[in-house]
């Protein structure tokens, strides 16, 4: 999705003015995106929230947007977002944060998007060499979500340390007879969750971890919605 990432800089981007994204075509081939804890409640109504495991054994929360590689079932043929909610990872485009060491990060921009976004009627990023109020607010939001993602790593590691994750596969049978499946997803094992000591569950409830786990578990019911979207697209 991101192609030409560069730091957002007052000299290099001095006259930059950006308009609203004309479409969501930029993520039409993105079938899953990272998602952070504060989004779980809203996202659980629409997406399957699962976990991906890295080669280092680190788990990260993801929102499934499709059942096939390079297919986003929430972007329609006209490039419009076909859903009630779009994950922050999508909405922040073309901006992102990049780590620079010592726990610091900077705001970056995908310059590949600039030909579609620049315009004199857009919002200025800098003025007199300083970030505008809009840019400052954008940076605050980006860094807040970065901090949320870092906090997520802490409670997700707690789940992993408690051996609560199990691998699953999502599949669907299309009217054409084609069978599609998506592997590499990990979910919380409800049986193991129920077997945890009451003291541990109480601690997680008080710290806000348990509501996130239940939002994840409830979201798994959206698998049928993904399958329905795929069937409808295939039929069309």
User: Nearest Cα to 63, choosing from 165, 151, 182, 158?
Assistant: 182
Answer yes or no: is 157 within a domain. Answer: yes
Distance CA 19, CA 82 (A): 21
Instruction: Note whether residue 15 is domain-resident.
Output: no
- Residue 15's pLDDT is 92
What pLDDT score does 178 carry?
A: 77
Instruction: Map 64-105 to HEC letters.
Output: ECCCCCCCCCCECCCCCECCCCCCHHHHCCCEEEEEEECCEE
What is the longest distance spanned by two Cα atoms in the chain?
61
Q: What is the pLDDT of residue 206?
A: 96
For residue 23 the two structure tokens come to 């479409």
Return the number of other C-beta atoms located less than 10 Å from residue 142's C-beta. 20
Residue 101 belongs to some domain of the structure: no
Burial per residue of 57-74, b for 16 or more beta-carbon CB atoms within 10 angstroms, e otherwise? eebbbbbbbbbbeebbbb
Would you say the pTM of this structure is higher than 0.85?
A: yes
Predicted local confidence at residue 215, as pLDDT: 98
* Per-residue pLDDT, 138: 96
Q: What is the pLDDT of residue 111?
A: 96
* Tokens of residue 33, six digits: 């995106």
Residue 103 forms part of a structural domain:
no
C-alpha torsion angle, residues 67, 68, 72, 77 (rounded to 10): -120
In a domain, 227, yes or no: yes
Q: Please give the pLDDT value at position 185.
A: 93
- 65 within 8 A of 74, measured Cβ to Cβ: yes
CA atoms within 13 A on the CB side of 213: 22
CA trace torsion 56, 58, 64, 65 (10° rounding): -60
Q: Is residue 145 one of the residues assigned to a domain?
A: yes
Mean pLDDT in order along the chain per 10 residues (236 residues): 95 93 94 97 96 96 94 96 97 95 91 91 94 97 96 97 93 75 91 97 96 97 90 84
Structure tokens at 58: 């680190």
Q: Is residue 175 part of a domain?
A: yes
Of 153, 147, 193, which is closest to residue 51 (Cα–Cα)? Answer: 153
Which pLDDT score is estimated for 103?
81
| Number of domains, the chain | 1
How many whole angstroms separate alpha carbon 32 and alpha carbon 52? Answer: 10
The structure tokens listed for 221 are 């019911």
Quick one: three-class SS letters along 203-230?
Answer: HHHHHCHHHHHHHHHHHHHHHHHHHHHH
Residue 32 lies in a domain: yes
For residue 184, what are the domain limits? Answer: 24-89+131-235
């Amino acid at each position: 999705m991101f192609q030409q990432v560069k730091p957002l800089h007052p000299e290099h981007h001095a006259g930059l003015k950006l308009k609203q994204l004309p479409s969501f075509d930029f993520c039409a081939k993105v079938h899953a995106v990272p998602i952070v804890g504060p989004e779980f409640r809203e996202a659980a109504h629409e997406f399957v929230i699962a976990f991906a495991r890295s080669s280092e054994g680190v788990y990260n929360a993801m929102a499934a947007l499709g059942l096939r590689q390079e297919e986003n079932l929430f972007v329609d043929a006209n490039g419009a977002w076909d859903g009630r909610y779009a994950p922050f990872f999508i909405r922040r485009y073309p901006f992102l944060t990049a780590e620079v060491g010592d726990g610091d990060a900077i705001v970056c921009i995908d310059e590949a998007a600039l030909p579609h976004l620049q315009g004199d009627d857009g919002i200025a990023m800098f003025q007199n060499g300083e970030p505008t109020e809009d840019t400052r607010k954008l940076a605050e939001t980006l860094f807040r979500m970065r901090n949320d993602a870092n906090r997520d790593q802490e409670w997700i590691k707690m789940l992993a340390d408690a051996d609560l994750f199990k691998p699953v596969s999502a599949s669907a049978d299309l009217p054409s007879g084609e069978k599609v499946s998506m592997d590499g997803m990990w979910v919380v094992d409800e049986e193991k969750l129920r077997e945890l000591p009451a003291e541990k569950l109480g601690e997680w409830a008080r710290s806000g971890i348990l509501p996130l786990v239940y939002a994840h578990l409830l979201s798994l019911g959206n698998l049928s919605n993904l399958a329905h979207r795929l069937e409808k697209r295939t039929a069309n």
